[in-house]
Structure 1
C-alpha cells in the first residue's frame, strides 16, 4: 500500500477559552456548519470553590476565494463549561440538533434554525440534569447509521455513571442510569448497528459493554486490555461489529464486538487518545486526537480484513501547540481548490524554489503568525534545507500510482491551553489497488 499525503492549514481561530471539542454538522442541509466548545477552570479565591465556564461557538464554512478566511462566526453563547458536543446524525422536526455535555451535570440540546436577522443560529431546545455535583463528560446519539426511528442519547459523568435518555417532541426524558465505573466514566457510546448495546470507558482502566434489554445490573463484558483510563469509544457506522477505542495509554485498539477478549489490532500513537472519529464515508479511515502528540489519521483496512498488526498513519496534523482534544471530519466536498488564510498565501516564490508547502505557525496566546515549510508528508522542513522529493507516508517504500484518484478532505481540530481552533485540508492519493478493493 502506498500513497501521497499532505495536510494544509486553512484558518486558525483563537477561541479565547480553552477549546476541547469541535463537531461538523452531519445533517445534509448544514454540512457547512461547525460547532466548537470550550472549557475554562477558574480557581477559587479563599474558601470559594473553583468554577467552570464555557462558550459555544457556531461557524459557517464558506468558499468565496483564496484570499478570504473560509470560516465565518455565526454565533457565540456563554455557557457552563463544555466537555463534549455531538450533533444528532439526522434532522429532528426538520432541523439539526446539537447535544452538549456540561460541567453542571446537564445534558443540553440546541436546535439549529434560521434567525429573524438572517443566517443560522442555535436555540435552546431541552436540558436534563443527569446528577448533582458531577460533570457530564461525554454523549453519543443512537443515530450513527442515519436511523431516526428511535432517537436516544447516552451520557457518561464524573461520578462513574452512565445515563440513557430518550428524545421525543423536543423533550429529553431519562430512561435509565447506573453506576458503570469506579472513577470518572470518561466516555460512553452506542453500537450503531444494535442500539440496545452501549459501551463505556472509565478512569478505572476498564472498557465495558451493556445490553439495555437485560438491564445494567451486570456488563456483557469487561475488558482490561487498556492499561490506563479509557477515554474514547466509537462504533464504526459502515461496518457491523467494529469498534475503536482509545486510552491514556496511547493506544488505539480495534475490536470485533463478537469477541472482546482480544482486539483486532493495537496501534501506538504517542499520546493519550482523547477522541476518535471514523470517516463519514470511508470505512477504513480513523481520525485520532492524541493529546500530547497532535492529530493523526490511521488507515485500518488491513486490520479490519483480519491481517492484524499496527494501523499505519497516513497523515498527521502537527500545527497545534497544546493538548490535542477535539477533531472531526467535514462531509463537505473539496472539488475546487481550497481557500487559504491570507497568511498562508504570501511567499509563493519561496515555495516554488523549495518544493515545499507553506504552513502556519503561531505563538500562543497572541496568535501572531509566522510561516514555515512542510513537505508533501506534512513534515517540517528546517530553514535552508530543500524539500525532499515526493514520498509515500507509511507503508512500503513504493512509488504512488500517478493515475490513482486524488482525494481531498476538510477537517477541524482544536487544542486546549492555547485555545485554538484550526480548519485544515488533507489531500492524498491512495494506492490504486486499495481503491479498487473498496466497496461501492
Structure 2
C-alpha cells in the first residue's frame, strides 16, 4: 500500500524559545501563512527557603509567509513576532470571520486569545488582537478547537480545555468571546478537547486521568455520553475526520493511535503503536485517509488509515517519517498550499544516485540575523536553490502533481511544518509520495471529486 515515499527538509528556523505548536492558515487566499507558538518555563530564584517559588511562563507568537520565490533564497520569511504568555495550542478558524482569518491561542495565563490576520495595501500580513477571555484563575489553557472543521460558518463556537480538568464551550458575539458553559470533565489536566465536525453539538475531551470522554451540549455537562479507558495513559490528542463522518483519531502518552467509529466507542477500529507519546494528530485537509502524528520522543509520522477506516481492524501503515528534529516532537500541520515545483522521483533503477556535489553543486549555509533563522541548502553553479535531498533540478508543474517515472501513478507533493521543544526548532518540509496502483486509483478518484472533499 505504501508506494514510494520521501521527506525532504526545505528550511529550519530557530524560534529561540521552546516551540510546541505550528498551524498553517486554512483560509484562502492565505494558505501561505504559517503561525508558530512557543512556551518557555522560567523557574523561580534559587534562594534558601524559596523552593516553592512560582515559576513564570513566557511565550512568543511567530507569523511567517511561505513563498516560492525561485531558487536563490529559502522559502520561509518571518513577518511578525509577538511576545505573549506561554502558548500551549494554536488553531485557525477554518472559515473567515468578518471576512478575515482568525487565529485562536490557548495560553498559560489561563486565557483564550483571538487574533485577526490583516493585510495592507502593500500585501504585508500581520496579526491584530481581537478578543480574549480568561477561562479560569490559576490554571493553564491547554488546547482549543473550532466547530468549523467542515467549512460551516453558521454557528461558530470554540472549545477549550485547561489544567484544572475543565472544559469550556464558548461562542463569538460581534468578535468577542462569550462563555456558554464550563464543567469539570477530568480529574487531572484536560490535555485536549475537540469538536465532532459532523455534529458540532458533540465534544470530545481527553485527560491525564487516562480517560477519553464524549459530551453533548444539548444534554448539558452533568454526565458524559461515554467514557473510555481504552488508552492506558493520559489522552493528549483528538481530531475528528472532516471528510468521513463518525471517524475519530485519538492519541496518548501510551504511544498508541486509536481510530474510532463515533457510533460505537466501546472498541476502536484500529490501534497503531508509534513508539512515542502522541501529542498531536492532524487529518489531511483534502485526503481523507492520511493522518499526521507528532510523537514526542519518536519524531513525526504519516499514517495511511483507509483499511482501518473500512473496518479491517489492523494497524495503520506508516507511509513516511520525518526524523530531522533533535528534541520532543510537539507541533505539526499540513499546508493547504500546493507545491508548484515538485521534486523529481527517486530513480527506479539500482544505479547509485549522483548528488549535486558530484555534479558541481556546492553547499550553502545562510544565516539571517537578527531573526536567528538559518537554512542549509544546496545550490548549483548557477546559484539556483535546490531542496535538500533532491538529485536533479526541480521541474515545473502548476498543479503540484507529476507522473512517476513509470507513468502510471501520480507523484503527490505535500507541504508540512513541524516543531520541536528543547532545541526550539521549526522545520518546513515536503513529502513526495508515489502511491501504489490501488491507492493511486483511489486518490485519482478523490482528486476528481476535489470540491466535495475540500471543507
TM-score range, shorter chain: 0.7 to 0.9
2:4 aligned with 1:4, yes or no? yes
Using the alignment, how far apart are the partners of 2:406 and 2:226 within structure 1?
A: 44
CA-CA distance at 1:434 after TM superposition: 1.8
Aligned pairs (5 A) from 1:170-181:
170-181=175-186
The equivalent of 2:326 in structure 1 is 321
Mean Cα deviation higher: 172-181 or 42-51: 42-51
* Contact kept? 2:19, 2:36, Cα under 8 Å: yes
Q: Secondary structure at the match of 1:406?
A: strand
Moved more, 42-51 or 21-30: 42-51
1:103 aligns with 2:105: no
Q: Which residue of 1 aligns with 2:383?
A: none
What's the counterpart of residue 29 of structure 2?
Answer: 29
Q: Which residue of 2 aligns with 1:152?
A: 157
Q: For the residues of structure 2 that align with 1:309 and 1:240, how far apart are their CA atoms?
A: 20
In the TM superposition, residue 402 of structure 1 has moved relative to its aligned partner by: 4.8
Q: Does the residue aligned with 2:410 lie in a helix, a strand or coil?
A: coil
1:136 alignment partner, one of 134, 137, 141: 141
- The answer (yes or no) to whether the contact 2:343–2:432 under 8 Å persists in 1 is no
2:452 paired residue number: none
Distance 2:149 2:416 in 1: 19
3-state DSSP of counterpart to 1:261: coil
Task: Please list, as runs of the form range in 1=range in 2, the aligned pairs for 1:419-438 lying within 5 A after superposition.
Answer: 419-438=424-443
CA–CA distance in 2 between the matches of 1:7 and 1:120? 29
1:122 partnered with 2:127: yes
Aligned partner of 1:19 in structure 2 is 19
Tell me the TM-score normalized by structure 1: 0.87
Give the 5 Å matches for 1:251-266: 251-266=256-271
Q: 1:369/1:29 Cα in 2 relative to 1: closer, same or farther (>3 Å)?
A: closer
Alpha-carbon shift at residue 273 of structure 1 (Å) = 0.3
The answer to whether the 8 A contact 2:13-2:375 is kept is: no
Partner of residue 386, structure 1: none
Instruction: Provide the secondary structure at the position in 1 that maps to 2:440.
Output: helix
Query: After superposition, where does 1:119-268 map in structure 2 within 5 Å?
Result: 119-268=124-273
Q: For 1:427 and 1:359, locate their aligned partners in 2 and report how far apart those are by CA, in whole Å.
A: 23
Matches within 5 A, 1:33-44: 33-44=33-44
Change in 2 beyond 3 A, CA 1:326/1:359: farther
The residue that corresponds to 1:68 in the other structure is: 73
Supply the RMSD in Å over aligned alpha carbons.
Answer: 2.4
* Per-residue deviation, residues 196-251 of structure 1 (Å, max 9, x unmatched): 00000000000000000000100000000000000000000000000000000000
- C-alpha distance in structure 2 between counterparts of 1:97 and 1:2, whole Å: 36
- How many residues are treated as equivalent by the alignment? 400
Cα deviation code 1:359-383 (max 9, x no counterpart): 99xxxxx9888799xxxxxxx9xxx
Consecutive unaligned residues in structure 1, runs of 5 or more: 340-347, 361-365, 373-379, 381-398
Structure 2 runs not aligned, ≥5 long: 345-352, 366-371, 379-388, 390-403, 450-455
Q: Distance in 1 between matches of 2:405 and 2:249?
A: 28
Cα distance in 2 for partners of 1:72, 1:338 equals 21
**Contact kept in structure 2, 1:154 and 1:163, CA below 8 Å:** yes
Q: Secondary structure at the match of 1:30?
A: coil
- How far 1:436 moved relative to its partner? 2.1
Cα distance in 2 for partners of 1:90, 1:234 equals 18
Q: 1:429 to 1:337 in 2, by over 3 A?
A: closer
Counterpart in the other structure of 1:55: 60
Q: Could you report, residue by residue, the CA deviation over 1:94-143 in whole angstroms, capped at 9, with x for unpaired residues?
A: 00000000000000000001247750100000000000000000000000
Could you tell me which residue of structure 2 aligns to residue 385 of structure 1? none
Per the TM alignment, residue 351 of structure 1 is displaced from its structure 2 partner at its CA by: 5.0
* TM-score, with structure 2 as normaliser: 0.84
Separation in 2, partners of 1:293, 1:351: 30
Structure 1 position 431, deviation (Å): 1.4
CA distance in 1, matches of 2:418, 2:176: 31
Whole-Å separation in 2 of the counterparts to 1:184 and 1:61: 35
